[in-house]
């Protein structure tokens, strides 16, 4: 007779770049990177997988064959797409049963799980007699989105495209994921597990990561939906706006050079986000009855003291600009 053994997938920890994972909070601006949790504490961050029959069935059956066609996900505090559980269950069910004490089979299981786009790390399987196996895993957390055929796909902090399409960029808590673009006609052939390869996509991702690092929940809430066009992010200068941000209401932000360039003379990244935060506060004040001059259409963050432009001045400056909303996809 065969014996079904419980297989328990615990969590290594959250993505250090995930919202709330290793990102600095608004107050205190301090945070701890993820670390390898002990087996008993692992449920706190990423979740635990249990495969096979219940313990009573295991003890009654008298054999040691892992059957991967039944599973459930327990616990976890990090954000996950609800469809990933079904995808993980189906992926596991496609793997043939194996002997629990087979080192080769356990390594094959580890490699099999590593194929999933939303798993950033899969640890070694540990035998827990008589209950089964336990494997530490780390889920990827989305930090941005890209527009593609059929909707939007989420992007992890390392540029990995995650499975599952969305009709609009989702919010993680109160924070909308920024949209990266433009992508080009070949991007629709990308599949989950592929990575952002173009330099300007990686530059846009760096901008998105710096958002998570420097903006708190209240600031994200004021910012709303945002698109990032870094196609000219490496050539920012006094004549070239560099990275362009598109905000709701048709407002634009000239961000300057990509954070990845780290060239001397650039305004420090934290000051740029502070300038944008202050400009968004002015808009909020305008909406609540403050002076009309609080409104603006273009914000230039390339200088130590950011420049704000009203609608007429902005239209004149933007007359030669390519509309980011057409190339990035915020208006889908």
Q: Would you call 263 exposed, middle or buried from its count of C-beta atoms within 10 A (0-12, 13-18, 19+)? A: exposed
Three-state DSSP class for 269?
helix
Tens digits of residue pLDDT in 287-300: 766 555 567 899 99
Residue 26 has a pLDDT of: 40
Residue 317 has a pLDDT of: 86
The residue that leads in pLDDT, 300 or 283, is 300
Against a cut of 0.75, is the pTM above it? Answer: yes
Q: Is the predicted pLDDT of residue 231 greater than 50, yes or no?
A: yes
Q: Would you call 320 exposed, middle or buried from its count of C-beta atoms within 10 A (0-12, 13-18, 19+)? A: exposed
Tens digits of residue pLDDT in 78-112: 788 889 988 988 898 898 888 878 889 889 988 99
Return the domain boundaries, the chain: 6-139, 142-328
Helix (H) or strand (E) holding 234: none
For the chain, percent of residues with pLDDT exceeding 90: 32
The residue that leads in pLDDT, 219 or 131, is 219
Q: Cα–Cα distance between 9 and 123 in angstroms, integer?
A: 9
Q: Cα–Cα distance between 330 and 181 in angstroms, integer?
A: 9
Tens digits of residue pLDDT in 141-167: 999 999 988 899 999 999 999 999 999
The residue that leads in pLDDT, 7 or 31, is 7
Q: Cα–Cα distance between 159 and 251 in angstroms, integer?
A: 27
* Residues 156/143, Cβ–Cβ less than 8 Å: yes
Residue 283 has a pLDDT of: 85
Q: Is the predicted pLDDT of residue 242 greater than 70, yes or no?
A: yes
Tokens standing for residue 237: 């200068």
**DSSP state for residue 305 in the 8-state scheme:** S
How many C-beta atoms lie closer than 10 Å to residue 41's C-beta?
10
DSSP string, 19-55: TTTTPPPTTT-------PPPTTTGGGTT-EEEESS-H
Residue 118 has a pLDDT of: 94
Task: Output the CA torsion 318→320→325→329 (10° steps).
Answer: -150
Can you tell me which residue has the tokens 């990561």? 209
Tokens standing for residue 319: 């007359």
């Amino acid at each position: 007779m065969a014996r079904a053994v419980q297989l328990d997938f615990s969590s290594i920890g959250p993505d250090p770049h995930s919202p709330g994972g290793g990102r600095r909070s608004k107050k205190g601006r301090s945070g701890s990177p993820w670390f390898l949790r002990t087996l008993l504490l692992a449920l706190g961050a990423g979740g635990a997988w249990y495969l096979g029959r219940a313990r009573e069935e295991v003890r009654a059956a008298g054999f040691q064959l892992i059957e991967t066609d039944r599973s459930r996900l327990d616990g976890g505090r990090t954000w996950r797409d609800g469809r990933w559980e079904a995808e993980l269950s189906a992926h596991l069910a496609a793997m043939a049963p194996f002997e629990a004490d087979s080192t080769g089979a356990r390594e094959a299981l580890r490699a099999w799980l590593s194929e999933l786009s939303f798993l950033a790390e899969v640890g070694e399987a540990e035998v827990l007699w008589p209950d089964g196996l336990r494997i530490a895993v780390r889920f990827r957390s989305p930090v941005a989105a890209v527009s593609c055929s059929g909707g939007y796909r989420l992007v992890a902090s390392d540029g990995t495209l995650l499975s599952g399409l969305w009709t609009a960029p989702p919010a993680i808590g109160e924070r909308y994921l920024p949209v990266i673009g433009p992508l080009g006609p070949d991007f629709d052939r990308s599949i989950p597990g592929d990575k952002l390869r173009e330099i300007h996509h990686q530059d846009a991702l760096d901008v998105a990561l710096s958002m998570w690092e420097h903006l708190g929940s209240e600031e994200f809430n004021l910012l709303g939906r945002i698109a990032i066009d870094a196609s000219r992010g490496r050539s920012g200068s006094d004549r070239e706006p560099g990275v362009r941000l598109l905000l709701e209401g048709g407002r634009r932000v000239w961000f300057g050079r990509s954070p990845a360039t780290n060239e001397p003379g650039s305004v420090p990244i934290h000051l740029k986000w502070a300038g944008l935060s202050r400009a968004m506060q002015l808009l909020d004040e305008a909406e609540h009855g403050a002076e009309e001059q609080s409104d603006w259409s273009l914000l230039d963050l390339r200088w130590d003291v950011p420049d704000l432009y009203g609608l007429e001045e902005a239209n004149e400056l933007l007359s030669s600009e390519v509309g980011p909303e057409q190339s990035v996809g915020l208006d889908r």
